Structure 1
Amino acid sequence: MWKNHPKALSFLFLSEMWERFGYYLMIGIFTLYLKDVETGFAMTEKEASDLYGTFIALVFFTPFIGGLVADRYIGYKKSIVLGGLMMSVGYFLMGVHNLTVLYIAMTLVIVGNGFFKPNISTLLGNFYDEEKYKEKKDEGYNIFYMGINIGGFVCNFFGAALQILLGWHYAFMAAGLGMFIGVIVFLLGTKHYGNKTEKKGIQEGDMPFSKIVLYILVPSIVFGIIGWLIKGVQSDINLDSSIFGSDSTDAFIFACIPVVYFYGSLYFKAKIEEKRQIGALLSIFAVVILFWAVFKLNGSALTTWADRYTDREITGTTQTVFNSLKLAKEVEYKQESTVLYDDAFRLQKKNGEVVKTVDYPVYFRNVSADKKPEEGSKISIWATNLSQSINPGWVIILTPLVVAFFTFLRSRKKEPSTPTKIAFGLLISTLSVLIMIAAVHVGGNGSEKVSVWWLVANYGVITIGELFLSPMGLSIVSKLSPKNITALMMGGWFLSTSIGNKLSGVLASMWDQYDHKANFFWVNFALLLFATVLMFALVKKLNKVMKDHGIN
């Protein structure tokens, strides 16, 4: 698999694998940590989902500036190392049980990812610009993407074991260590990078950095503050009278306006020969926002589904193995008293007032009567964050099959174009939501827990869509971007991911507002279906742009 690819691929593959080990370990436990009443921050579902959405949105917002700085000033190597070290420190700090320290840690991860993420993806693309590797670019990004998911698969087992055995702090420390190893691996491959890591410098016609700060960054901060301060109409479900659901969401959306304007100006001010390329990329960026809005529910709403609505009891050999590896914990069955719980399953209601309690999770609340154990007996349930390994597990299994499928089509000269792959990726992702709608009905709208196989099936289908879309997105940015703004356009790809991530947080924060959970998933289905229709409508024009520029 490796012999027909640049030697640098293996080092970038392993570096990204360890980086994702750290990131996805952290993401897998982040909302669970925020909601933990006893040793976390006792946040409600809405509070945790809102912070999660803002966090992962900003994580993918900063590549806009990180790519720009690497392109013009410090090059890719320094950016990747700097970003990796910042994230490592951020993960180490994240487990310190102090809200101020948590925000500092999140800031380090947000800024660090801005330097790391777009530049390692751009650096990979630089090696495939050589003539002998050009036809292998899509395959190279698929292999690279598999590295991401090996890290994403393994990390949750470490996260679960460390959290159960030692606590949240040690799990976050493991994430920091993984990121540090990723930096070391990247540096070990230096001799294979040649001049590919060097900065491109300021090109003729580029907007000076001082103007970007003055016209883009400063306005973003100002707009963000305005968004935070402006109030909408107060209601029973909008108590803080925000416009888009929360003050942080308002601030983020307003802050995006100057950056979106900047990317639009790239198109209008571009040279004639580059205008269509930039326009094609911007249209793709706009469409995939809706994909990320649904896909990133894996760390919020789908984690909640795994935690509350999935039968996680294990017995026999599985129980023995999981207990010995500290991947499961024991819960004791007690008959529920007259104390009532709201839909968050962990917040008591006393005299009509919600009171946070350490007496949770109420795992047995929606276990059918015939499956409840005897009073005082214990059962073993696997750690919730292990559900985060289902998606990367599918990626590891399916990536070779998808690569082989497209290689077969290429040999018969029938391989679809990159935009066509993205369109089919959206269609397949849309179908995955129907599985969760069926799961809701099978579980009687949450009145009974359902098999974990519903989650496995959902992730399996959406993973196929992901493999058609996400690595192809990285590839098409590398193919279509004008050379002097490649990292900047890669930042644009991550900006679309950022906006989608924030929309995902907004969707997840509305979970408890849906009495019938199928309606929540129907909204997701509609969003993805809309994106699919748009993308298929654009495919013909996008294919023509690529053909006119001699790109496969």
Structure 2
Amino acid sequence: MSSTRKHPAALPFLFFSEMWERFGFYLLLAILQMYLTDAETGGWAMDRKTAVDIFGTFIAFVYLTPFVGGLLADRKIGYIQSIIWGGILMGIGYCGLAVHNLTVFYASLALICIGNGFFKPNISTLLGNVYNDERYKELKDTGYNIFYMGINLGAFTCTFIAAYLRNTIGWGAAFIAAGIGMFIGVIIFVIGLKHYRHADVRKPEQPGDMSLNSIFAQVFIPVLVVGAIGWFIPGNIFGTDSTDAFIFACLPIVYFFANLLRKAGATDKQPVKALLAIFAVSILFWAVFKQNGTALTTWAQYYTDREMPAALVAPAKTLMLSETVTNKQDSVVAYDHEFRVIKNEKGQPVKELGKPVYLKNVAPEKMPPEGESINLINTEQFQSVNPFFVIILTPLVVAFFAFLRKRKKEPSTPTKIAWGLVISSLSTFMMVGAVMACGNGQEKASFWWLFGCYGVITAGELLLSPMGLSLVSKLSPPRLTSLMMGGWFLATSMGNKLSGVLAATWDLYENKANYFLVNFVLLIFSAGIIFVMLRWLNRVFRANT
């Protein structure tokens, strides 16, 4: 390798593999709630509470399965085989969603969850292993930032493809595109094998480690049993059967990590304890952040002024990247004042003579004349705003910390995470402002409010999410790296499920400002906790890196 190379040759292959994998995943997240609630163009016409429950449960399991995938890769399968087979399973799952059958739909989501469990933690761990070379150790944070930008390139482009295919062909075509993207990612990964085959180092069992058989007996079987109890227990403790089952199922895994800490040797105990503390705090961040696919999608769809600027109408119509609504009476699906589909006693959507739902709260001065149409930005394209900011801000963040590093003033990784939580909490005030500006939905809010919210939370995200991955790679005892990476994704999983629980309360808030204030309290509380622990976290960090 050339001595002038700044980053390892493996980085671009892992970058583009992850980019295409995230292309498919975020395409699905961008349209899943709309597909589940759509009552007009071939969706499932589910009520919003059911849809956000499915969404939250799905993204929870997407990040729960890496616990299993990381452990099996560590001990038995290896990272490369796990990534390849995980990607193939995900690709099949995406394509399966194109079949409009409820059994196939749930089976496809399950395949995506299982595949992600093998792909997601292990490609991150493989990248960390590549950067463990002495030539690259100091660039690990930067490497993860660049890797994270690849994730967001995929997330940015996917919504345009989703909008085009949904507008021209239908929901199924968009799901198939997600599958094709995943298969492209697998192909790129296989092409680059020679650059990271050396980093595919399994961690055999060490004296004192639990065997795989013991882990399955003490963790996974209890997970299934306790999860089933949560599902079938009479009534709902936490709102829905799926939420009860998920929370119950997490208990044996939480116990496993607590036991791991209890049995850790003297040199491992403090770093493991620090990581578990970071995991616990990050749950609340993900609970708020992952509402982009639920509550913020609802806000974009029904409460945001999506009328396209005149200069963009012609190219958008040519590329089929806009929706059209016409101000005329027609037979349309009926919605109530909370923009929920009204159903009859058989659970079927009620039709009424009226105007498109988008026009229900358009300001009088913005209402198109009778019989005329306006062009709208597709709802899912607002989910490109977050990755757009990641792409724009990542080079600035990398350059800023490189500047501080040269002057020996770069903050520690735990400090970056703490400030990331503070900045993220401020994003909720953008949405409080949006609610006030539009009279609590009496008229539509400017899309700049949503744009600003995504911009602020993205700044916080860049100090938390890639830094969390980097922290796990730096602090984890070598034989536990992939397992602790699974722990990071377990915390993300819990946060994701909580995001669905929170989103399910959307209709309970007459004043939507209160909904966003609850999100603020959660984030500022988590920031306060980590600042209290910061001196200890920094001490552990310095001692183990």
TM-score range relative to shorter protein: over 0.9
Distance 1:76 1:139 in 2: 22
- Give the equivalent residue in structure 1 for 2:535: 540
User: Does the 8 Å CA contact 1:37/1:357 hold for their aligned counterparts?
Assistant: no
Question: Residue 343 of structure 2 contacts residue 350 of structure 2 at CA under 8 Å; is this kept in 1?
Answer: no
Do structure 1's residue 356 and structure 2's residue 349 form an aligned pair? yes
Contact 2:80–2:197 (Cα < 8 Å) also in 1 = no
Deviation of the 1:272 alpha carbon: 1.0
- Aligned residues of 2:328 and 2:370 also touching (Cα < 8 A): yes
- Does the 8 Å CA contact 1:346/1:356 hold for their aligned counterparts? no
Contact 2:39 2:333 in 1 (8 A): no
Partners of 1:347 and 1:355 within 8 A in 2:
no
How far apart, CA to CA, are the structure 2 residues paired with 1:83 and 1:339? Answer: 40
Task: Decide whether aligned partners of structure 1 residues 256 and 249 sit closer, same or farther in structure 2, where only a CA change above 3 A counts.
Answer: same
Pair 1:17-2:19 in alignment: yes
Report whether the alignment pairs 1:104 with 2:107.
yes
Question: 1:221 and 2:224 equivalent?
Answer: yes
2:91–2:178: 8 Å Cα contact kept in structure 1?
yes
Per-residue deviation at 1:132?
Answer: 1.6
SS in 1 for 2:78: helix
SS in 2 for 1:313: coil
Report the CA distance shift for 1:435/1:353 in structure 2 as closer, same or farther (over 3 A): farther
Alpha carbons 1:346, 1:361 under 8 Å: kept: no
RMSD: 1.7
Match of 2:501 in 1: 506
- Counterpart-to-counterpart distance in 2, 1:476 and 1:143: 15
Q: 2:428 aligns with which of 418, 430, 433?
A: 433
Give me the whole-angstrom Cα distance separating, in 2, the residues matched to 1:20 and 1:348: 35
Give the unaligned 5+ runs of structure 1: 232-240
Q: Distance in 1 between matches of 2:519 and 2:38?
A: 27
Q: Is the 8 A contact 2:328 2:371 kept in 1?
A: yes
Distance 2:331 2:180 in 1: 44
Deviates more, 1:305-314 or 1:335-344: 335-344
Give the letter for the 2:31 counterpart: I
- The question of 1:242 aligning with 2:244 is answered no
Instruction: Say if 2:260 is the partner of 1:266.
Output: yes
Question: Which position in structure 1 is the counterpart of 2:118?
Answer: 115
In the TM superposition, residue 335 of structure 1 has moved relative to its aligned partner by 5.4
1:369-393 CA-to-partner distances (Å, cap 9, x unmatched) read 2221222222111111001100000
> What secondary structure, in the 3-state scheme, does the structure 2 residue paired with 1:347 have?
coil
Pairing partner for 2:316 from 312, 322, 325: 322
Report the Cα distance in structure 1 between the residues aligned to 2:165 and 2:403, rounded to whole angstroms.
Answer: 43
Matched, 1:195 2:198: yes
Task: Note the 1:34-433 alignment, pairs <5 A.
Answer: 34-38=36-40, 39-231=42-234, 241-334=235-328, 341-348=335-342, 356-357=349-350, 362-433=357-428
- Inter-partner Cα distance in structure 2 for 1:110 and 1:394: 27
Question: Equivalents in 1 of 2:513, 2:534: separation in Å?
Answer: 31
**CA drift at 1:354:** 7.7
Within 2, Cα distance between the matches of 1:435 and 1:317?
27
- TM-score (norm. length: structure 2): 0.96
The match for 2:32 is: 30
> Deviations 1:199-247 (Å, cap 9, x if unpaired)?
222222221111111110010111111111223xxxxxxxxx4111111
Q: In 2, distance between residues paired with 1:343 and 1:285? A: 39
- Going from structure 1 to structure 2, the CA distance change for 1:362 and 1:346 (only over 3 Å counts) comes to farther
- What CA distance in whole angstroms lies between the structure 1 residues aligned with 2:172 and 2:534? 47
For the residues of structure 1 that align with 2:308 and 2:334, how far apart are their CA atoms? 28
Shift in CA distance, 263/100, structure 1 to aligned 2, threshold 3 Å: same
Question: Alpha carbons of 1:86 and 1:369: their partners in 2 closer, same or farther (altered >3 Å)?
Answer: same
Amino acid in the other structure paired with 2:484: M
Q: CA shift at 1:315, angstroms?
A: 4.4
Structure 2 contact 61–113 (Cα < 8 Å) conserved: yes
What residue is the counterpart of 1:453 in the other structure? 448
Shift of 1:361: 5.2
* Stretch deviating more after TM superposition (306-315 or 245-254): 306-315
| 1:277-319 deviations in Å (ceiling 9; x for gaps) | 1000000000000000000000111011100011111242311
Cα gap change, 1:358/1:387 in structure 2, threshold over 3 Å: closer, same or farther? farther
User: Larger deviation: 450-459 or 366-375?
Assistant: 366-375
Give the drift of 1:341: 3.3
Q: Which amino acid aligns with 2:131?
A: Y
CA contact (8 A) 1:11 1:186 kept: yes
**Post-superposition CA distance 1:452-506 (Å, at most 9, x none):** 1111111011001000000000000000001001000000000000000000000
Q: Quote the offset at 1:46 in angstroms.
A: 0.4
How much has 1:348 moved relative to structure 2?
3.0
Contact 1:426 1:469 in 2 (8 A): yes
**CA displacement 1:310-347 (0-9 Å, x = unmatched):** 11112423111111111112112235999973244252
TM-score, normalised by the number of residues in structure 1: 0.95
Following TM superposition, the consecutive aligned residue runs of length 4 or more in structure 1 with deviations greater than 6 angstroms are 336-340
SS for the counterpart of 2:208 is: coil
Aligned residue type for 2:349: K
The code of the aligned residue for 1:422 comes to I
Cα distance change of structure 1 residues 169 and 336 upon mapping to structure 2, 3 Å threshold = closer
Aligned residues: 539
Distance in 1 between residues matched to 2:228 and 2:385, nearest whole Å? 39
Cα separation, 2, equivalents of 1:435 and 1:202: 49
Q: Partner letter of residue 114 of structure 2? A: V
Superimposed CA distance per residue, residues 149-197 of structure 1 (whole angstroms, 9 cap, x where no aligned partner) = 0000001100100010000000000000000000000011111113211
The structural deviation recorded for 1:437 is 0.4
Distance 1:98 1:297 in 2: 26
**Unpaired segments ≥5 residues, structure 2:** none
Identity of aligned residues (%): 58
Distance 1:3 1:326, change over 3 A: farther
Give secondary structure in 1 for the equivalent of 2:375.
Answer: strand
Distance 1:355 1:443, change over 3 A: farther
Distance 1:227 1:408, change over 3 A: same
Q: Secondary structure at the match of 2:144?
A: helix
Call closer, same or farther: CA 1:343–1:71 in 2, change over 3 Å: farther
Cα deviation, residue 349, structure 1: 6.7
Measure, in 2, the Cα distance between the counterparts of 1:169 and 1:77: 30
Alignment pair present for 1:470 and 2:465 = yes
Q: Partner letter of residue 83 of structure 2?
A: I
SS of residue paired to 2:198: coil
Q: 1:416 to 1:301 in 2, by over 3 A?
A: same
Equivalent in the alignment of 1:234 = none
Q: Does 1:531 align with 2:526?
A: yes
C-alpha distance in 2, partners of 1:324/1:206?
Answer: 60
